[in-house]
């Protein structure tokens, strides 16, 4: 594997742009992890086409569970797209100088 890690120097570049870039990547990772957790819980809250447990567990209006689950699943597919997307590569390659 190539040595392609991109280090953002937060020690000497203390302005807002480097911190914002690092935070954007960090929050993207956190969002992906939270979406995955909710989607995984959802998988265990759905019975065939019955989303009522999922709706109740997450406070989703009745009849909207399938839509919410589809949106979560689609978003996760984009964030985890290793072959055609940039999000996964961005999260894998960006680090700060203190990590």
Per residue in 9-62, pLDDT tens? 877 766 788 888 888 888 988 998 999 999 999 999 999 899 999 999 999 999
Cα separation, 89 vs 87, in Å, equals 5
Give the residue, 83 or 16, on which the prediction is more confident.
16
Separation of first and last alpha carbons in the chain: 20
Element (H, E) at 16: helix 16-43
Note the pTM of the prediction, 2 decimals: 0.74
Is the pLDDT score of 8 beyond 90? no
What does the pLDDT read at residue 96?
64
Instruction: Look at 5 and 33; give whichever has higher pLDDT.
Output: 33
pLDDT at residue 56, as a whole number = 96
Tell me the C-alpha distance between 39 and 70, whole Å: 9
């Amino acid at each position: 594997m190539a040595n392609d890690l991109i280090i953002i120097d937060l020690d000497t570049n203390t302005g807002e742009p480097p911190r914002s870039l690092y935070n954007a990547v960090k929050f993207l990772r956190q969002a992906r992890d939270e979406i995955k957790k909710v989607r995984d819980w959802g998988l265990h809250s759905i019975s065939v086409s019955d989303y009522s447990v999922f709706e109740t567990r997450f406070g989703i209006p009745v009849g909207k569970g399938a839509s919410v689950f589809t949106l979560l699943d689609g978003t996760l597919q984009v964030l985890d797209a290793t072959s055609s997307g940039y999000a996964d590569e961005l999260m894998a390659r960006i680090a700060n100088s203190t990590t």
